[in-house]
Structure 1
Amino acid sequence: MKNLLLHRVGPRGHADHGWLDTWRTFSSGNNSDPDRMHFGALRVLNDDTVGPGMGFGTHAQVIEAEDVQVMSSGTGITHSERARDHDKPVHFRQIWAIPRESNVAPRYDQMTLPAGPDDALRTIISPDPNASGLWMHQDAWFLLGHFVGPVHFTYAPQRAGNGVYTFLIEGEASVAGQELQRRDGLGIQGEEAIDIQMGSHGGQLLLIDVPMDLN
């Protein structure tokens, strides 16, 4: 049976720490909502903006526009985030997934996506270290599409028992019969093929294909 979990942009959790302005799809910190704790292995999906020249520092690894970075904290890792430019903020999405195993070796990996629209979904993260893109310690797939027009397609989960969380970064779309606006999210379970129709002006869509059973 199809099961939908709709997260509109408005009720997202929000915190402004001065140096960090964050909008949270799922509950964290003082923002507690039992209906927004997680979607299967997907635990955090934040829209973060770090103020110009602000953050907290440790290393100097730079993430440019269109970059994707994967981090496995594993047995322990030191991490920092800082806006490199002192005259403009940096905006990015921070996403956490619950791993399938604990105490793995800590690691970073990073890639740059091709610039411009491609009118198709591109796998950017998967469980396979030998596949193109990045990999992670979970049976999860992250796909990103940048569309210029009203593209229509279907998506099938990569693995039996997985659910799919769609996050509309930009534009308008209809996903599994639900009309989505910019920054809306929709979790879908029990669907073999998910119908997706991008709006007349296209947009940018993130699909997160994750295990629903964490046992």
Structure 2
Amino acid sequence: MMELRRAQDRGHADHGWLNSWHSFSFADYYDPKHVQFRALRVINDDTVEPGRGFGTHGHRDMEIVSYVLNGALAHKDSMGNGSVIHPGNVQRMSAGTGVQHSEFNPSQTEKVHFLQIWFLPNAAGINPSYEEKYFSDEEKRGRLRLIASPDGADGSVKIHADAKMFAVLLDGNEQVEHPLAQDRYVYVHVARGDVALNDTPLHAGDGAMLAGGERVMLAQGRNAEVMVFELT
């Protein structure tokens, strides 16, 4: 059975410099029915105003993936990493025993729109680490491109969590199907555009949860960018 999580039902926080939508409980938003889905703990859909951002703050024992949709996001951390990521870049930070970092919009004119995704790690107390890779639109066009996985398969970033993360771009007659074993689960998040999941229309910000053995078919996309999470 598919359970829908419509965009307007998510948590919302507007701080002026930051407009954030929470698919799961986060900060001051708490929904006991939507704390996490398997190892998937956070999907924050964030838009940050020009020249603003998150000051230095700490994390521990969490796998954090940032995925930029529009604009640019600058990152600095206590491991000595510093970079600016753009659409196509996937950034992974394993907080482990503890890390400090900051994220901000380096542009003075353009907003940055990105997804911040957290996974619960499969082991606590690991050494903090960082990784960043680029995946072109061509790699995601009309097919599920693996971008994060426990073993770094197919050139994906490596996360220390029982999860795989795919990205796909769909427009027009393109369609993709993802086989799902009985002991696996899927969370689908529409980052932008419109798409049909198993013939059910989804729009930007919508999510859906499916259990093992169910069909996972994405089609009828209109400028759609979709994240698919396979979980144990």
| TM-score normalised to structure 2 length | 0.82
- Contact 2:189 2:228 (C-alpha < 8 Å) held by counterparts: yes
Give the Cα–Cα distance (whole angstroms) in 1 for the partners of residues 98 and 112 of structure 2. Answer: 26
Give the Cα–Cα distance (whole angstroms) in 1 for the partners of residues 142 and 223 of structure 2. Answer: 9
Structure 1 residue 139: Cα displacement = 2.2
Tell me the residue number matched to 2:61: none
Structure 1 residue 205: Cα displacement = 1.3
Aligned length: 207
Structure 1 residue 4: Cα displacement = 2.2
| Residue deviations 1:181-213 (CA, integer Å, cap 9, x gap) | 2221001012254232233x35211101112xx
Report the secondary structure of 1:10's partner residue: helix
Tell me the residue number matched to 2:189: 167
The answer for unaligned runs of 5 or more in structure 2 is 57-75, 77-81
For 1:142, which of 142, 165, 169 is the aligned residue?
Answer: 165
Give the Cα–Cα distance (whole angstroms) in 2 for the partners of residues 19 and 75 of structure 1. Answer: 30
Tell me the residue number matched to 1:103: 125
Structure 1 residue 160: Cα displacement = 5.3
Structure 1 residue 102: Cα displacement = 0.6
Tell me the residue number matched to 1:19: 17
- Asked if residue 155 in structure 1 is aligned to residue 153 in structure 2, the reply is no
Give the Cα–Cα distance (whole angstroms) in 2 for the partners of residues 39 and 175 of structure 1. Answer: 18
- Contact 1:151 1:202 (C-alpha < 8 Å) held by counterparts: no
Give the Cα–Cα distance (whole angstroms) in 1 for the partners of residues 43 and 91 of structure 2. Answer: 14
The answer for unaligned runs of 5 or more in structure 1 is none
For 2:219, give the aligned amino acid: Q
For 1:40, give the aligned amino acid: R
- Contact 2:148 2:158 (C-alpha < 8 Å) held by counterparts: yes
| TM-score normalised to structure 1 length | 0.88
The root-mean-square deviation of aligned C-alpha atoms, in Å, is: 1.9
Structure 1 residue 176: Cα displacement = 3.1
Structure 1 residue 154: Cα displacement = 1.7
Tell me the residue number matched to 1:46: 44
> Which is strand-richer, 1 or 2?
2
Structure 1 residue 130: Cα displacement = 5.5
